[in-house]
């Protein structure tokens, strides 16, 4: 088949915040997005279960012709990226909470990190924090319930605002000047976060950096352009929230997911 197909997966719709940046940077590529809606959220699950699900999805994406996979989920990256890299002969790009840029830029010597339990438990987070943030204050918080709100299409609700306030208010008391979004679902809350946080706080979403890294891996030089690029969206559950958020992204950011298709595919 002519043209690159990039596989992107997440426990649900969160990875759309990464897919959006990938399409913005590489509109000539085709994409297959897999949302494991049926098994969402991954955050509270044990790592063996997340590894099992990540392998099943990876095999599905490879069968569909994907030659590079972006794990657009911090929790799945934390649990499974080493194993996936060791078991499948294609490049994997993963997510990691952007602690490093926040730690290097903070003036108050205090940063906030919001992520899932699985991400905080992971080796990547532990290593990055001890390497770059050992001499600053890191106010970290598990964002319980936030992923579910995004999946229910409630990222702009009063319920979301109340829950976010509960999580960020203690961080404000610690004078954070950066808030790291360590879960790909959370950028859907940026409009609300901008309302409840002082303007001086930088909200860091690592998705643009991950898109750049994917671009470097694919290589600009001999990129084999697809004649008719497409974006296929698979979900192991309902595709309704995917459809709604895809159309919101298209309207809000003038990005077009070309020749798109939505398919329900139970794992
Ligand atoms: N988007 C996933 C992440 O980045 C959400 C995890 C979950 O399903 O709990 O961690």
pLDDT tens for the 267 residues of the chain, in order: 456 899 999 999 999 999 999 999 999 999 999 999 999 999 999 999 999 999 999 999 999 999 999 999 999 999 999 999 999 999 999 999 999 999 999 999 999 999 999 999 999 999 999 999 999 999 999 999 999 999 999 999 999 999 999 999 999 999 999 999 999 999 999 999 999 999 999 999 999 999 999 999 987 544 456 678 999 999 999 999 999 999 999 999 889 999 999 999 998
Cite the active site residues. 73, 183
Cβ neighbours of residue 77 closer than 8 Å, sequence gap 6 or more: 71, 94, 95, 96, 119, 122, 124
> Ligand 1: which atom is nearest the Cα of residue 182?
4
Ligand 1 pocket by C-beta < 6 Å: which residues? Answer: 10-11, 14, 40-43, 73-75, 95, 116, 119, 147, 183-185
User: How far apart (Å, rounded) are the C-alpha atoms in residues 181 and 202?
Assistant: 10
Q: How far is the CA of 117 from the centre of ligand 1 (A)?
A: 9
H/E element, 169: helix 158-173
> Ligand 1: which atom is nearest the Cα of residue 76?
10
Q: Which residue from 36, 120, 183 has its CB within 8 A of the most atoms of ligand 1, so it is best to mutate?
A: 183
Query: How many other CB atoms sit within 10 Å of the CB of residue 261?
Result: 12
Q: How far is the CA of 222 from the centre of ligand 1 (A)?
A: 33
Q: How far is the CA of 224 from the centre of ligand 1 (A)?
A: 31
pLDDT recorded at residue 1: 43
pLDDT recorded at residue 226: 67
Q: What is the DSSP string of 108-168?
A: SSEEEEEE-HHHHHSHHHHHHHHHHSTTSEEEEEE-TTHHHHHHTT-TTSHHHHHHHHHHH
User: How far apart (Å, rounded) are the C-alpha atoms in residues 70 and 73?
Assistant: 9
> Ligand 1: which atom is nearest the Cα of residue 41?
8
Q: Which residue from 141, 143, 185 has its CB within 8 A of the most atoms of ligand 1, so it is best to mutate?
A: 185
**Beta bridge partner(s), residue 233:** 33, 262
pLDDT recorded at residue 224: 58
Q: In 64-116, where does DSSP find H-type helix?
A: 74-87, 99-105
User: How far apart (Å, rounded) are the C-alpha atoms in residues 52 and 263?
Assistant: 22
């Amino acid at each position: 088949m002519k043209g690159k197909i990039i596989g992107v997966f997440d426990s649900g719709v969160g990875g759309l915040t990464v897919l959006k940046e990938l399409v913005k940077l590489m509109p000539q590529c085709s994409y297959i997005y897999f949302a494991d809606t049926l098994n969402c959220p991954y955050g509270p699950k044990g790592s063996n279960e997340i590894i099992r699900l990540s392998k099943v999805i990876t095999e599905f994406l490879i069968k569909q012709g994907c030659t590079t996979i972006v794990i657009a989920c911090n929790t799945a990256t934390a649990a499974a990226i080493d194993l996936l890299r060791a078991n499948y002969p294609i490049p994997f790009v993963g997510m990691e909470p952007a602690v490093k840029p926040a730690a290097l830029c903070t003036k108050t010597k205090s940063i906030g990190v919001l992520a899932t339990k699985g991400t905080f438990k992971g080796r990547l987070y532990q290593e990055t924090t001890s390497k770059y943030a050992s001499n600053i204050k890191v106010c970290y918080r598990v964002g319980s319930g936030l992923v579910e709100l995004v999946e229910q299409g409630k990222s702009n609700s009063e319920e979301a605002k109340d829950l976010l306030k509960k999580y960020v208010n203690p961080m404000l008391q610690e004078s954070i000047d950066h808030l790291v979004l360590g879960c790909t679902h959370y950028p859907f809350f940026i409009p609300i976060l901008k309302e409840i946080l002082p303007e001086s706080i930088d909200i860091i979403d690592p998705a643009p950096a991950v898109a750049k890294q994917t671009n470097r891996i694919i290589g600009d030089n001999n990129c084999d352009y697809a004649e008719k690029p497409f974006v296929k969206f698979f979900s192991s559950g309902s595709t309704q929230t995917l459809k709604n958020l895809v159309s919101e992204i298209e309207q809000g950011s003038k990005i077009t997911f070309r020749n798109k298709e939505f398919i329900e595919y139970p794992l």
